[in-house]
Structure 1
Amino acid sequence: MKKLINAMVILSILTSCKSGNKITSSEIGETQIVTILHTNDIHGNYMPFQTTLGSATSQTSDPERDNLITFEKEGEIGGFAALSTAVKEIRNSRDNENVLLLDSGDTFSDDLLGNLTEGEAIITMMKNLGYEYLALGNHDFDYGRDRTEELMKIGGFPLGAANIIDKRTGKSIFNNPYLIKEIRGTKIAILAVGYHNTNLTGSSDNMKNLEFRRGNEVLKEILPELMEQADIIVLLSHQGTAVDRLTAEEFSDIDLIIGGHSHDLISKPEKINNTYMVQAMADAAALGDIELEIRDRKLIGVKAQHHLLWLSNYEEDPEMQSLIGELRAPHRDHLEEKIATATDVIDRQYKSESTFEKLVGNLLRSEYDADISFLPGVGYGISLQGEITRENLYLANSSSP
């Protein structure tokens, strides 16, 4: 009887092949690897910057934050030209058709060139690099909802968030709540959620006709239908690590959460119940690299790491450098205007007072002959040191996350 069953299985496989139906590795019990490369919270930072040992970027090294991050050395890091080199190297070393490139939001603004072009410069770089999907962050509406839609069309890839509702249609914004990719027979759903308090972090005029719902409320509605369409569920989240942990605790059917908003570096996957979590810091200083191990269309393991984009390790991609030069050319004199020189590091913090806050506060008090100055959330950006240009100062003077 056992021999008869085996013969029937073999006959079934041969019949399927003869009829033209491709038998994928996931269907015959072999392990396949799908790579997801990811970034988050770029905030328009497309150029490399100089690190310091104690403080360098965004919220990372603030001693008051839960996840303290410091750089191991001084040096130049990040930028789209180094990012392009890293992405191309990984695509070339692995099966390019099995590699996805995603972003978890807060991408276009908070940089002078980004603002001068209302995000077009950054989305053009992302298009060149081959991004496939972006979860909308709270700063991705800094130029208004209509401009965000224009940027999506320029980029040629979907932007979305299942919990951001367009009141005019009653559907999720741009009707792109998720993306389903089929790779060697396995259907991978990438579901996007944005920050539910986005309307409290920017101009209300930029968010007319938009409703921002809590991600977990929407997940209860959308996950059941998505599970019928896909084998593996990836949540591309701009909710922040604390909320992502709550999501992982509540929704065990989510296989992987790729996070953003809180600027954390979670390289070794954090696992809660059945759900893995990762995040790739901020400011295009790191590229997240995830390998999904799949067998029989089910996730059996996750390997993850991050690549710090030190220019000493990654030669800047000439093609991307050329594109950046073209985008900067009309604005170069304005961008590179010299403003001042910092004789010491003017560092940035987020939850605690930093040198930058003291500097700005004292300037305001002096200018307006005031005793007290209040700062509306300028607690993150790139630390200033040495020669300061207009674009350096602008990137340092960013708003809250």
Structure 2
Amino acid sequence: MELTGMLTSKLLMTVFLTALIACSAFGAECHAAPDGVVHLTILHTNDTHGFLTQFDTEKAYGVGGAAGRASLINEIRRSNAECGDKRYTLLLDGGDVLENNAMSNFFKGEADIEFMNLARYDAMTFGNHEFGFGMDNFMGLAKKATFPILCANVMDAKTKKHLFAPYIVKEFGGVRIAIFGLTSHTLFYNSAPADLARIEFINKDEAYAKLLPEMKEKSDYIIFLSHLGIEEDREFAKKHPEINIIIGSHSHTFLEQPEKVGDINIYQAGKYGECLGRINLTFEGKKAAAINSRLINISDRAAGELVKKYKDLLDPQINIKIGELGANLENLSKYEMKTPVFEFVLKILCEEAKTDFSMETGASITGRLEAGPIYLKNIYRLMPYNNFVITIKMSGSEIKKLIDYSISKKKTPFFVQTYGLTYEEEGGKAKNIKIKGEAVSDDKIYTVATDNYMSAGGAEDNILKNIPAERKTASEKLIRELVIEYIKKRGKF
């Protein structure tokens, strides 16, 4: 599959006509609002992860894309404006705008924020991947954003003040809307240790409780713009029934219809900008009715030109040949056994870090490498996450616990792939564990190369997380960069 989806002119016309029909079908009827009635359309996206160009899915070709999203947003805004002065539009994003796509990775989120400025977003929540290119980088992007970034549970460790605005209040036709944000604790798995030392993560319920009196005083309606994921959204809704609606993200959940917890509706629009969520609210005093629908993407000239600008800059850089591969490196069953592509990457990591063995979770590498020329774009697609090299000193007993844990996580993304370490499995436990061919001794100290995600406990284990910091050495080198440099140096494989 190519990096961007390409449509023929015939197919493009079909998509365009279908989208017009969809916009008409899902748009609110246009008639004058009675006195005391205000109509608000909330448009929402989440977990776009740098997907500004169209892409293919298992179900459809050429979906998503910034151009299609902008067209829908502009069409809905225009329709509301034409319907009178009591119809308003609010555009929100649930976070994880950056990382996981070559364009976002190359330009470190600049294109993503520039698009959101162009689309006139009203606010976004701080997601756990936003520090993927470093805290300083994102704080720079935040200054360029023409909209506020919301987060009530991340503080500046030095000043003890909120890193971002905890909430905002917007007024529409006399109705005051409070919007607050919270982010996921998985921020600790996706950020560099040096950045984590500069922030303080506080309990989400305590953070919300401190804001609530002020928000209730200043607003008529409370929207929770969440980056917690659907499971935590459900629990949060049970604890805090005074919230009116939750617009979620993080779990990449496609909610065609809102999920109801008590009187609270929870919304989420999937991932990668495949969908634009729409909520129609009609205010009559404090009461509101809501409907959410998915719409089909169409093109937008201004957004298309913006994406083309960055794509034209990107293509010459990622289409550079860096090596040659003699045979396919497959990645099937990566959640239950060693695969050739992991063997390839982890071998490089182990050799370059000069450790006894190396390891990463099964989710860290996506796809396969095909025989033939290796282009830079192949490595960016294979390794979409900005994971840093971390070397850790581990005892043999700690290693045994970790491998037992990995076995218990077979067929999940937390299954651990290794190089330089072998073992046999019996009764759900590891036996005959060897490092470089020698049996592992409980008391002996070994060195392992891994990434910041695993080191911080991202595989949902406490074994690596609880290892003291003095036994960990963090590098500023991305594993992806290490692999690219190695391939360039060796040439043929």
Name the residue aligned to 1:333.
Answer: 316
**Closer/same/farther in 2, CA of residues 234 and 380 from structure 1, 3 Å limit:** farther
Alignment of 1:3-22 (within 5 A): none
Q: 1:203: how far off?
A: 1.2
In structure 2, the CA distance between the partners of 1:248 and 1:385, relative to structure 1 (3 Å rule), is farther
> What's the counterpart of residue 165 of structure 1?
155
Q: Which residue of 2 aligns with 1:248?
A: 237
Taking the aligned partners of 2:332 and 2:209, their CA distance within structure 1 comes to: 38
Unaligned runs of 5+ in 2: 1-31, 352-356, 386-452, 459-493
Structure 2 counterpart of 1:113: 103
The change in CA–CA distance for 1:301 and 1:381 in structure 2 (over 3 A counts) is: farther
Distance across 1 between alignment mates of 2:187 and 2:222? 24
Residues 382/317 of structure 1: CA separation in 2 closer, same or farther (3 Å cut): farther
Q: 1:202 to 1:257 in 2, by over 3 A?
A: same
Distance 1:282 1:117, change over 3 A: same
TM-score of the aligned structures, taking structure 1 as reference length: 0.76
Is residue 335–residue 362 contact of structure 2 (8 Å, CA) maintained in 1? no
> What secondary structure sits across from 2:271 in the alignment?
coil
Aligned pair in 2 of structure 1 residues 270, 156: CA closer, same or farther (>3 Å)? Answer: same
What's the offset of the Cα at 1:109? 2.0
For 2:36 and 2:57, locate their aligned partners in 1 and report how far apart those are by CA, in whole Å.
Answer: 47
Greater RCO, CA 8 A, separation 6+: 1
Letter in 2 for 1:164: V
Deviation of the 1:255 alpha carbon: 0.5
Partners of 2:230 and 2:253 within 8 A in 1:
yes
Q: Structure 1 377/201 Cα, relative in aligned 2: closer, same or farther at 3 Å?
A: farther
TM-score by length of 2: 0.62
Aligned to 1:289: 278
> 2:182 maps to which residue?
193
What's the CA shift for 1:364?
3.8
Instruction: Report whether the alignment pairs 1:152 with 2:142.
Output: yes
State the alpha-carbon separation in 2 of the partners of residues 383 and 232 from structure 1. 48
Alignment equivalent of 1:39, drawn from 23, 26, 45: 45
Partner of 1:44, secondary structure, is coil
Match of 2:125 in 1: 135
- Contact kept? 2:331, 2:340, Cα under 8 Å: no
The correspondence of residues 1-400 of structure 1 with structure 2, limited to 5 A, is 28-30=35-37, 32-52=38-58, 73-95=59-81, 98-174=88-164, 176-296=165-285, 298-309=286-297, 314=298, 316-337=299-320, 353=335, 358-364=339-345, 374-376=359-361, 378=363, 390-391=376-377, 393-399=379-385
Tell me if the contact between 1:113 and 1:335 (Cα under 8 Å) persists in the aligned partners.
no
C-alpha contact 1:111 1:391 (8 A) present in aligned 2: no
Match of 1:5 in 2: none
Q: What letter matches 1:182 in structure 2? A: E
CA distance in 2, matches of 1:395, 1:40: 21
Higher CA-based Rg: 2
The number of equivalent residue pairs is 345
Asked whether the 8 Å contact 2:331–2:342 carries over to 1, the reply is no
387-396 vs 283-292, greater mean Cα deviation: 387-396
Q: 1:363 is matched by which residue type in structure 2?
A: F
Aligned identity (percent) is: 30
Secondary structure of the 2:315 match is helix
Q: Partners of 1:232 and 1:177 in 2: how far apart?
A: 16
Name the CA distance, whole Å, in 2 between partners of 1:202 and 1:187: 35
Amino acid aligned to 2:360: L
Q: CA deviation at 1:205?
A: 1.4
When residues 168 and 362 of structure 1 are mapped into structure 2, their CA distance, relative to the original with a 3 A threshold, is: closer
Rounded Cα–Cα distance in structure 1 between residues aligned with 2:92 and 2:138: 17
CA RMSD of aligned residues (A): 3.4
Which structure 1 segments of 5+ residues have no match?
1-23, 53-72
Q: Letter of the 1:33 partner, please give it.
A: H
Query: Are the counterparts in 2 of residues 142 and 206 from structure 1 also a CA contact under 8 Å?
Result: no
- Evaluate the alpha carbon distance shift between residue 273 and residue 144 of structure 1 in structure 2; reply closer, same or farther with a 3 A threshold: same
Determine helix, strand or coil for the equivalent of 1:280. Answer: coil
Deviation at 1:396, TM superposition (A): 4.8
The farther-off stretch of 265-274 and 322-331 is 322-331
